[in-house]
Structure formats: structure tokens, C-alpha cells
Amino acid sequence: MSISQDRLNYEQVDKELEHIQDLNHEDRRKADELAYSLYRMAIRFGTWDPQEIDLTEDKKHFATMDQQKRDYLIHFCTGFWNAEENVAVQFCPWVMVAPTTHQQAFLSTQLVEEFKHTEFFERYFKEVLGVDRENKVQNIVHDTLDPRGKQLIQAIEEGPESREAAMVEGMAHYQGIIEGVQAMVGYDVYEAVWGQYNLLPGLREAFKNIKRDEGRHVGFGLRMLKQFSRKPEHAERIRRVYEEYLPAMLIRYDQQVIVNGREIETPVEVQGKDRIQKMFDRRLKDILGNQLQQV
């Protein structure tokens, strides 16, 4: 396949993923059909290698960056590394609770991709940042994944109704909140703080690939939540999960930023709390629509 043809195919994939994530566009595919389509997309277009991304320019940029931007980059990438690793080691219950083989097959690609994202950030710290990740970065939404995973495992043994209810809450928590709001805001923050100044092209390439991976995850999760929300009891579950974790997401951008034992100022471009609130409002409105006023 030629480079131009390969690029064209990826452009088409990105357009399709944008369409899937935009719940204003109707998608009549049933869950298994959508899951299988995204599974095939992951097989064909999700095989990028974290070790092949060129980090040469990132090393130069980091070496000449002002101290505040360097320190905030360490803080920022710590949050992503922690998040990807935390999900990677705890995602199996999300695969297991899915009711069909096609859905489990698609979700299994997500499990592999979370480990791949983790590998990239481990490499980035080693080869570009040259330090270990910080240990004072709060990510409360991720801290609750362990009990959520245990809840999913327990629900598998309790029958189809409990299993479906647990799946709704699990998807709202992970694909809806963590990936659908928190991670998407993270990409925007990268672009605002470094990307718009043409800094860190290796990190930009990684985020492009990670965002494509997570576009599949989020697209499936949002479409499933939209279908589940037709039942009033599930609409209420979705709203409750979203509202439960909004304060925790806001804390991530309201916390004291400490790097190498010293407090640093957050770059003015971040505007994390505003970005979180806007994405949160958009996701909840897209999923629940007119039901938002009823639940």
C-alpha cells in the first residue's frame, strides 16, 4: 500500500470515528454490529508501535523549554502514564461483563491498546523527560476503578439484569467519564500548552494515535450508553455516575502542582476546569438528550 493511500485510509477512519462519537448523527447498527466493525477497524488501523515514534525533536524541545513548561510537562505526562497503566491492569472485568463474543472481542482490543499507551509514556519519561513520574498527581476518578471492577465481576454471577446494570455504570465510568471527558480534555490541553507552538512533535504523533484508539473506545461506549438510556432506570444510572465523578475530574485541574518538590504555576493556556465542564455538559446532553431534564 502506498503512503498516500495509507494516509487516505486513516483520514477516512478518523472521519468515521468522529461520526460515531457525534451522537447527533443516528447510527442504527445494533451493538454487536458496531462492536464487530470497530474490532475490525482496530485490527487494520490500530497497530502503531510506541517504539517507532521519533522523539529526536522532543528531546531538543524539552532541553530548551522554560522551566515552568518543563515541570508542567512532567506533571501532565505523569497523569497520562498513571491513567493508562491503571486502566491497563484493571480493564479485564469490562471485557468479561460484555454479553456477547463480538463485544468482548472489541473490548479486548482496548485492553491491549491501554498497555500500548502505557508503554509509550514509560518510554517518553525515559528518553525525553529523563526523570521518574511524580508521585503527587491526584486522579481520583481512576482510584475508583478497582471497586468498579470488582462490582462488574460480581454482577456476572448475579444474572442478566444485574449484569446489564453493572455494564451501564462501568461504561459510564470508564468510556463515558475517563476517556470520553477527562482524556479528551487532556489532548486539548496538550495542544493549547505545547502543540500550538509546534513543540513536542513526537508527543503529538503519539496523542494522534492514542486519540484514534480511544475514539473507538469512546464511540462504542457513547453509542451503547445512548441505547441503554432508552430505559429510564439506566438513564438515571448514567446521570448519577456522571455527576458523581464531575467534582473528582475538576480536582485534577484544581490541585497543587508539585514537581521535584517545588510548587509550580499552571500555564495560563490550560484552563482545565472550564474544558472539563464543557466536555462533561456536552457528553451528558448527547447521551440523555431530552431525558436530561427528566432524570
Number of structural domains found in the chain: 1
The pLDDT-based confidence of 118 (bands split at 50, 70, 90) is very high
**Rounded mean pLDDT of 161-180?**
97
Q: Which residues pair with 259 in a beta bridge?
A: 262
Task: List the CATH number of the domain containing 86.
Answer: 1.10.620.20
Q: Would you say 219 and 20 are in contact if contact means Cβ atoms under 8 Å apart?
A: yes
Alpha carbon 180 to chain centroid, angstroms: 6
Distances (CA, A) of 278 to 104, 188, 275: 31, 12, 5
**Rounded mean pLDDT of 96-112?**
97
Task: Give CA–CA dist 113/2, Å, rounded.
Answer: 25
Quick check: is 236 in a domain?
Answer: yes
- Residue 108: count other Cβ atoms within 10 Å of its Cβ: 18
In which residue are the cell numbers 485534577 written?
A: 252
- Residue 210: count other Cβ atoms within 10 Å of its Cβ: 23
Instruction: Tell me the per-residue pLDDT of 8-60, one tens digit each, with 9 for 90 and over.
Output: 588 899 999 999 999 988 888 999 999 999 999 999 998 899 999 999 999 99
Q: Would you say 287 and 23 are in contact if contact means Cβ atoms under 8 Å apart?
A: yes
* Torsion sign over Cα 273, 279, 283, 285: positive
CA angle 278, 283, 288 (to 5 degrees): 130
At residue 193, the pLDDT reads: 95
Residue with more model confidence, 99 or 11: 99
Task: Give CA–CA dist 55/59, Å, rounded.
Answer: 6
Distances (CA, A) of 226 to 3, 27, 99, 191, 222: 37, 10, 17, 29, 6
Residue 261 amino acid letter: G
Q: Would you say 13 and 83 are in contact if contact means Cβ atoms under 8 Å apart?
A: no
Average pLDDT, the chain: 92
At residue 93, the pLDDT reads: 97
Domain assignment of residue 189, given as a range: 13-293
Quick check: is 78 in a domain?
Answer: yes
Task: Give CA–CA dist 46/208, Å, rounded.
Answer: 11
Quick check: is 5 in a domain?
Answer: no
**Is pLDDT of 260 > 90?**
no
Task: Give CA–CA dist 173/177, Å, rounded.
Answer: 5
Q: Would you say 72 and 134 are in contact if contact means Cβ atoms under 8 Å apart?
A: no
Distances (CA, A) of 168 to 72, 82, 92, 103: 35, 24, 16, 14
Instruction: Tell me the per-residue pLDDT of 201-238, one tens digit each, with 9 for 90 and over.
Output: 999 999 999 999 999 999 999 999 999 999 999 999 99
Quick check: is 4 in a domain?
Answer: no
**Is pLDDT of 136 > 80?**
no
**Which one-letter DSSP state was computed for residue 28?**
-
**Rounded mean pLDDT of 237-247?**
96
Q: Kindly state the cell numbers that stand for 125.
A: 519519561
Quick check: is 2 in a domain?
Answer: no
Closest CA to 91 of 187, 185, 214: 214
Residue 108 amino acid letter: S
Quick check: is 7 in a domain?
Answer: no
Task: Give CA–CA dist 193/130, Å, rounded.
Answer: 20
Burial class (CB in 10 A: 0-12, 13-18, 19+), 44: exposed
